[in-house]
Amino acid sequence: MLLTDSNQFSTKMQVQVLTTGPFDQTFTYSTEGAGVTRGQVVMVPFGRREILGVVWSISENSTFEGTVKDIGTILPFQLPETSLDFIYWVANYTLIPLGSVLKMVLALPPAEFLKVLKKPEELPTPAYSFDHTVTLSVEQQQASYAIIQGAKTFIPFVLDGVTGSGKTEVYLNAIEHVLKNQGQALVLLPEIALTNEWLERFKRRFGFEPQLWHSNVTVKNKRQTWQQVLKDQPVVVVGARSALFLPFQNLQLIIVDEEHDDSYKQQEQNHYHARDMAVVRARLSEIPIVLASATPALETMSNIDKGKYHPLILKGRFAEATLPLVEIVDMRGQSRNQWLSAPLVTNIRQCLSNQEQVLLFLNRRGYAPLTLCRGCGHRFLCPGCSVWLVQHKHKGQLSCHHCGFTQNLPPVCPTCQTEDSFVACGPGVERIEEAVRKTFPSARIQVVTSDQLSTPKAIQTIIDDIKNFKIDILIGTQVLAKGHHFPLLTLVGILDADLGLNGGDLRASEKTYQLLHQVSGRAGREQKQGRVVLQTYHPDHPLFLSVQNHRRDDFYACELHQRQAQQFPPYGYLAAIVVSGLDEMTVERYAKTLARLAPNADNVTVLGPVPAPLARVKSRYRWRFLLKSSQAMALQPFLKLWLSHPSLKKATGSVRVSVDIDPYSFM
DNA sequence: TTTTATTTTCGA
DNA sequence: CGAAAATAAAAT
Ligand SMILES: [Zn+2]
Ligand SMILES: [Zn+2]
């Protein structure tokens, strides 16, 4: 009588749990744990397995009729309210399912959480010693002071200054202030800018290592960092995009360095822009955020104009003196397969005799972007994608830069069986290397692309070789343009400045300007003016003249004007839909059905569907829509309504629909 | 996303 | 006919 039917007496409460699946809804569970509140991290039975989740709300009027299961395990973690708000905001803006955003916040596999439950782990406590041997200039102090004064308020700052103007010292100084307040700071950097050099500088300044967070950090370290940020330990997390989702308990400052960098935009699966979401994160936490760059994004500049962002401008002590001398070389008279113009060769020769280093920049990996048969015209194509295979001569391979497909270069043409009949079309860095070796046989030459920098050890070896002057001529892609500073480098040759300008990308000019600015900035040092030789087929293009004359703001003004005329970002809003699938007809049919079901709205224009410029990737055919609106947050409700249209069959099997708010790629 | 239920396909 | 494969549906 006493202990029977415990259900009648126990007070089980119902809770809504958000799980880490790709769902935009919560699920109802019951629990006896009286202390369970919103934010509680749990494991719940879901289907036949247990998955991670977080309690989203308590006993909300759940409409669920079926059998309610009990929460499996209550884990010793509670997500802060700002984290939960952030999840909601990101999901709502990007249209990524709530549960998928939660997965980015929880960031670790369930087993890691269970380990901590079984045996709580000792977490290292950071110990600082502040080093003030670097003295700040007046403008650096003023900028830093402004950020510190902004503490506990949402203020987006734009730290705008050329390479060498001391942006890093400014924000490190602000971070010191946060640490002295026992607060937490987050520094976002593009993965290729997160160099040893940067870390050494941090360690010198603070006497301890920051917590690293990127794809190559071990699960163990991630587990520790995740707990440290949640437990309010005064840490500095330095990482790529994904660090933004960590559940900081006491975040007091966010830095987004190289804020214009494209890599902040996640291009696949779940599309989001880490810089923009970082601003949201700062607003929700009511803290300052610093967007640092020598070439801020036009969106950022426009936000300064609107008064939303506060500019902090660093002119730099030696800025004027170190601006490189840019020579534009007209390539139109150049004979075919002559990648190095006479003025460039002259400059290289001069450099070599002065014992100075040269960087030749070409943003294209491999030997040649296209290989064809002289006999029959056979082209090597990727079997899974509608692109040419890139020839990598060192490896004797042909590979696809979209899906990773690789094959050996065959001895005979697969179509006509002719021996030795292949012609390489167009140059990549390897081919430039070949040409440079021919012209400068005694120079020490090194090609540097992401292929060469695949491991930390390889990176360090190459960087050391460059700094110790074991290399005369560097030939590289954008990995060399970002992050590293080479003091012996005085000449930069931009082999094909036009490369990024083709293709229907609304940001092509902006991106090209930023890249050329960044790579030009590698030339020169404090004592000596650097030189840049810019090879182009459009020597009168205003973009190149702006680079030559260092008229960044004129270029920006002109570019903004054009964006306004077309109602493109930052004056209008875009979203893209990509329908993809294994069967071409099915994809086309689905896209056209989707088009027919588009809702009507005054403030939204639907363009498409059209076959994507990259018509097939990883065996999937692709069709695209582009949506335009003049109004912020108008596209999201429109898309929600559209994609949940009752007579729209759920995209099943091979057909997938992916949504990209504020797209950066239109391929 | 993962798992299970249902339908279709196709070889023996 | 029955197993395997493809497709749809469910998960609280
Ligand atoms: Zn052939
Ligand atoms: Zn491919």
Give yes or no for residue A646 having a pLDDT over 90. no
For the CA of A23 and the C1' of C11, the distance in angstroms is 10
Q: Which nucleotide is nearest to A654 (CA to C1')?
A: C7
For the CA of A46 and the C1' of C11, the distance in angstroms is 6
Give yes or no for residue A3 having a pLDDT over 60. no
Name which of A3-17, A302-316, A340-354, A649-663 the model is least confident about. A3-17
Distance CA A122, CA A649 (A): 51
Q: Which two tokens stand for residue A543?
A: 């973009």
Residue A408 host element (H or E): strand A406-408
According to CATH, the superfamily of the domain at A138-318 is P-loop containing nucleotide triphosphate hydrolases (3.40.50.300)
Q: Identify the pLDDT of residue A648.
A: 79
For the CA of A68 and the C1' of C9, the distance in angstroms is 20
Q: Which CATH code for domain A13-118?
A: 3.40.1440.60
Closest CA to A160 of A319, A40, A306: A319
Q: Identify the pLDDT of residue A101.
A: 98
pLDDT tier at A87, thresholds 50, 70, 90 = very high
For A355-399, what is each residue's pLDDT tens digit? Answer: 999 999 999 999 999 999 999 999 999 999 999 999 999 999 999
Residue % of chain A over a pLDDT of 70: 97
Q: Identify the pLDDT of residue A153.
A: 98
Q: Which two tokens stand for residue A530?
A: 């650097």
* Half-sphere exposure of residue A418: CA atoms within 13 angstroms, side-chain side: 12
Distances from the Cα of A376 to the Cα of A285, A367, A387, A416, A479, angstroms: 64, 22, 19, 6, 37
Give yes or no for residue A34 having a pLDDT over 60. yes
For the CA of A47 and the C1' of B2, the distance in angstroms is 8
Predicted TM-score (pTM) of this structure: 0.96
**Higher per-residue confidence, A6 vs A469:** A469
Q: Identify the pLDDT of residue A163.
A: 84
CA A259 to chain centre: 10
CA A102 to chain centre: 20
Give chain C positions with protein CB within 7 A.
6-12
Q: Is A47's CB less than 7 Å from nucleic acid strand B?
A: yes
For the CA of A657 and the C1' of B8, the distance in angstroms is 25
pLDDT tier at A88, thresholds 50, 70, 90 = very high
Describe the strand order of the beta sheet including A489-494 as a list of residue ranges. Answer: A325-330, A531-536, A489-494, A357-361, A473-476, A445-448
CA A567 to chain centre: 25
According to CATH, the superfamily of the domain at A572-661 is Ribosomal protein S10 (3.30.70.600)
8 Å CB contact between A441 and A480? no
How far does the centroid of ligand 2 lie from the alpha carbon of residue A373, in Å? 20
User: Which ligand is nearest to the Cα of residue A374, counting in written order?
Assistant: 1
* A239-A244-A245-A247 Cα dihedral, nearest 10 degrees: 90
pLDDT tier at A1, thresholds 50, 70, 90 = very low
Closest CA to A27 of A51, A1, A10: A51
Q: Which two tokens stand for residue A1?
A: 């009588």
Q: Is A118's CB less than 7 Å from nucleic acid strand B?
A: no
How far does the centroid of ligand 1 lie from the alpha carbon of residue A422, in Å? 8
Q: Which two tokens stand for residue A551?
A: 């008229």
Distance CA A522, CA A164 (A): 10
How far does the centroid of ligand 1 lie from the alpha carbon of residue A424, in Å? 13
Q: Which two tokens stand for residue A399?
A: 């590979």
Q: Identify the pLDDT of residue A319.
A: 59
What average pLDDT score do residues A650-658 get? 81
Packed helices A81-94 and A98-106: angle between N→C axes, nearest 10 degrees: 130
Residue % of chain A over a pLDDT of 90: 83
How far does the centroid of ligand 2 lie from the alpha carbon of residue A246, in Å? 34
How far does the centroid of ligand 1 lie from the alpha carbon of residue A284, in Å? 61
Distance CA A444, CA A398 (A): 27
For A294-319, what is each residue's pLDDT tens digit? Answer: 999 999 999 999 999 999 999 986 65
Task: Say if residue A414 is exposed, middle or buried (CB neighbours under 10 Å; 0-12, 13-18, 19+).
Answer: exposed
For A505-560, what is each residue's pLDDT tens digit? Answer: 999 999 999 999 999 988 876 678 899 999 999 999 999 999 999 999 999 999 99
How far does the centroid of ligand 2 lie from the alpha carbon of residue A402, in Å? 5
For the CA of A242 and the C1' of B1, the distance in angstroms is 20
For A109-161, what is each residue's pLDDT tens digit? Answer: 999 999 999 999 999 998 889 988 889 999 999 999 999 999 999 999 999 99
Q: Range(s) for CATH 3.30.70.600 in chain A?
A: 572-661
Window A260-279, strand B contacts by Cβ < 7 Å: 269
Annotated binding-site members of A for Zn(2+): 373, 376, 382, 385, 400, 403, 413, 416
User: DSSP string of A38-88?
Assistant: TTEEEEEEETTEEEEEEEEEES------SPPEEP-EEEEEE--HHHHHHHH
Distance CA A512, CA A394 (A): 29
For A93, phi then psi, to 5°, come to -80, -45
What average pLDDT score do residues A33-56 get? 95
For A206-237, what is each residue's pLDDT tens digit? Answer: 999 999 999 999 999 999 999 999 999 999 99
For A293, phi then psi, to 5°, come to -175, 155
**Residues 6+ positions from A10 with CB-CB distance below 8 Å:** A32
Distance CA A583, CA A565 (A): 39
What fold, for A321-364+427-563?
Rossmann fold (3.40.50)
Mean pLDDT of chain A: 94
Residue A329 host element (H or E): strand A325-330
Q: Range(s) for CATH 3.40.50.300 in chain A?
A: 138-318, 321-364+427-563
Footprint of strand C on the protein (CB under 7 A): A 21, 23, 27-29, 44-47, 62, 64, 66-69, 650, 652-654
How far does the centroid of ligand 2 lie from the alpha carbon of residue A404, in Å? 6
What average pLDDT score do residues A644-649 get? 81
For the CA of A644 and the C1' of C3, the distance in angstroms is 37
Q: Is A653's CB less than 7 Å from nucleic acid strand B?
A: no
> Quick one: which residue's CA is nearest to C7's C1'?
A653
For the CA of A293 and the C1' of B12, the distance in angstroms is 69
Three-state secondary structure readout of A528-584: CCCEEEEEECCCCCHHHHHHHHCCHHHHHHHHHHHHHHHCCCCCCEEEEEEEEECCH
For A397-419, what is each residue's pLDDT tens digit? Answer: 999 999 999 999 999 999 999 99
Closest CA to A321 of A533, A547, A530, A519: A530
Q: Identify the pLDDT of residue A535.
A: 98
